[in-house]
Amino acid sequence: MRAEDKRKVMQFLEANKEEMLEFLIRTIQTPSLSCHEGEVARLYASKMQELGYDEVEIDGIGNVLGWVKATEPCYEKCLLFNGHMDHVPPGKMVDPYAGLIIDAGRYGEEGQAVYGRGASDMKGALAAMVFAAGAIKAAGIKLKRDLLVTPVVLEEMRGQLGTKYLIENDNLKVEYTIVGEASNLDIALGHRGIIEHIITTSGKSAHASQPEHGVNAFYKMMDILTAVRLNIIPKLPADELFGKTTMTINTCQVSPGVSNVIPDSCTVTIDTRNIPSFTAPELTARLRAEIEKLKLNDPELEYEISCSNVELTSYTGLRASSENQLYPFYTSPEQPLVKKLQEIISMVRGRRPQLRIWKFATDGGYLSTKAGIVTVGFGPGDERYAHTADDHILVADVFTAARVYALIALEMCT
């Protein structure tokens, strides 16, 4: 990284702090629930064009792709800044789309913060990414590697449909990815995944006054869940970095669901948070083997088990589907991207960042585990406030993130 390039980029970001903040506020003031991101997508695309990006497009599913192209290309694969522009419902937030600037002292923090749904998850990071790439373009720096910024859709609905489409349909070649989810300006090396299984037992309905004429699907499910609690959950794998794989049974539906009828069907969903070394097929095999043991002593036990799917229509009208799971991932701290990011954060913040594991799951799992891209997480915001009524982000942290994004892009692309 040349000192003159660094000076120009930092100068641009300093001169455009207020514009960056105003843009962040506008995006928060623009509701963007999953499947309804169109208006905010156009805001991101418009700002990229205004900042002079070389190419800006909205793809078939509604992701925004903003390119700052290499003028002296030496690398076939790009650096990707990835983040999602959808957010969860506002719930009980007060004025969730006001985009208010508030005193962060109410949260035990210093300085000003922007309050609103999506501030920490993750419109603060996206504003920083958009302006970081804009700073490089404005400085006229000759890149050897393409830089791509992608606000994506449908992240909050699991299935990673936006990012999945980005990789599988937009013909991208990516060497490195930084996912901007909240990391408190530290470096996230990975997270556990999410696997959702659906188990259904079948029985035979009968009048509740004559249960002997029926087969109670609910009772059959009780046997399965008891076996899961006693024989599966205690043996789930763990490791030092990610902790234990956890499993919870969270929903149960019976049919016909009438108090005087023996149920002929019972369906439960099982949520598993898996470490990277433990895969969905392995878990399915364990569950199936345990149920098959029950069948040896209960010939009336009929069941089906599968991983669930998610199918959604994006704001563009495109119908997309995927397995309803998020992949775990882990990136070694010895990766050059991690080393460079550590150096840059230390330089910008005056302290060395922590290397951590996210407690939540992100699109980074798909990018790393499924697409094979070197992926790390770095973003402004504290994950404690994501999806809560106190959703906010420190203004100073957004500016800091923009500086880090710009400098890591210089380091990896020049």
Q: Is the pLDDT of residue 124 over 80?
A: yes
Mean pLDDT of 219-237: 98
Q: Give the residue among 18, 12, 72, 62 at the shortest CA–CA distance from 42.
A: 62
Mean pLDDT of 135-152: 97
**pLDDT by residue (tens digit) across 349-371?**
999 999 999 999 999 999 999 99
Q: Is the pLDDT of residue 324 over 90?
A: no
Q: H helices of 151-279, where?
A: 161-169, 217-227
Q: Is the pLDDT of residue 195 over 90?
A: yes
Place of tokens 């418009």: 46
Q: What is the pLDDT of residue 272?
A: 97
Angstrom distance (rounded) from CA 361 to CA 329: 9
Q: Where are the beta strands (DSSP E) in 59-192?
A: 64-68, 78-84, 100-103, 112-115, 147-152, 174-179, 187-191
Helix (H) or strand (E) holding 158: none
Q: What is the pLDDT of residue 235?
A: 97
Q: What is the pLDDT of residue 51?
A: 98
CB 328 within 8 Å of CB 365: yes
CA distances (Å), origin 347, targets 163, 181, 197, 225, 351? 31, 21, 45, 52, 7
CB 9 within 8 Å of CB 407: yes
Which domains can be identified in the chain, with CATH numbers? Answer: 3-191+328-413 (3.40.630.10), 193-311 (3.30.70.360)
Name the percent of the chain lying above pLDDT 90. 96
Q: Give the residue among 188, 184, 290, 156 at the shortest CA–CA distance from 234.
A: 290
- Separation of CA 312 from chain center: 17
CB 262 within 8 Å of CB 214: yes
Angstrom distance (rounded) from CA 169 to CA 147: 18
Lowest-pLDDT range of 21-35, 45-59, 318-332: 318-332
Q: Which two tokens stand for residue 43?
A: 């805001």
Q: Calculate the CA dihedral of residues 237, 239, 241, 245 and round it to 10 degrees.
A: 10
Higher-confidence residue of 404 and 71: namely: 404
**pLDDT by residue (tens digit) across 82-106?**
999 999 999 999 999 999 999 999 9
Q: Report the mean per-residue pLDDT for the chain.
A: 96
Q: Is the pLDDT of residue 3 over 90?
A: no
**pLDDT by residue (tens digit) across 239-266?**
999 999 999 999 999 999 999 999 999 9
